[in-house]
Amino acid sequence: MYILISVLIIIVCIFMVLIVLVQNSKGGGLASNFAGSNQIMGVRKTADFLEKATWTLAVSLLVLSLLASLTMPKDRVNASRSAIEKQIQDTQDPTALPNFPNATQQSGQAQKDTSKK
């Protein structure tokens, strides 16, 4: 189901890009190249159709995105733990490890031992 919704989202995005590119912008846009089709249907009807198509595609993209987030397979997401998380959980408590004397403590004690002799 998730894959089907994802494919529909991609198709809606492609149609939305095409519809937006065809619309007449302030600078003329690509719609000025399609003057013949504007004469058949009329300029106002074409602009209304493009505007309604843009809003319809935008709303459908929003709805499909929400559906995709609801149908996303969550069992695979939760089942795959990262190697770093496993390593963090398996580490020992650093305070429980044995304490080794520092090199400075050993050299200081060795100097005291030689001074006693």
Phi-psi region of 52 (alpha: psi -120 to 50; beta: other; left: phi over 0): alpha
What's the predicted TM-score (pTM) here?
Answer: 0.51
Would you say residue 62 lies in a domain?
yes
42-76 pLDDT, tens digit per residue, is 556 777 888 899 999 999 999 999 999 998 887 65
Range of the domain at 2: 1-11+41-73
pLDDT at 45: 74
The angle, 0 to 180 degrees and rounded to 10, between the axes of the packed helices 2-22 and 43-71 is 160
Regions of the chain with pLDDT less than 50: 38, 77
User: How many domains does the structure of the chain reveal?
Assistant: 1
pLDDT at 79: 52
DSSP, residue by residue, 42-96: -HHHHHHHHHHHHHHHHHHHHHHHHHHHHHS-HHHHHH---HHHHHHHHPPPGGG
Would you say residue 65 lies in a domain?
yes
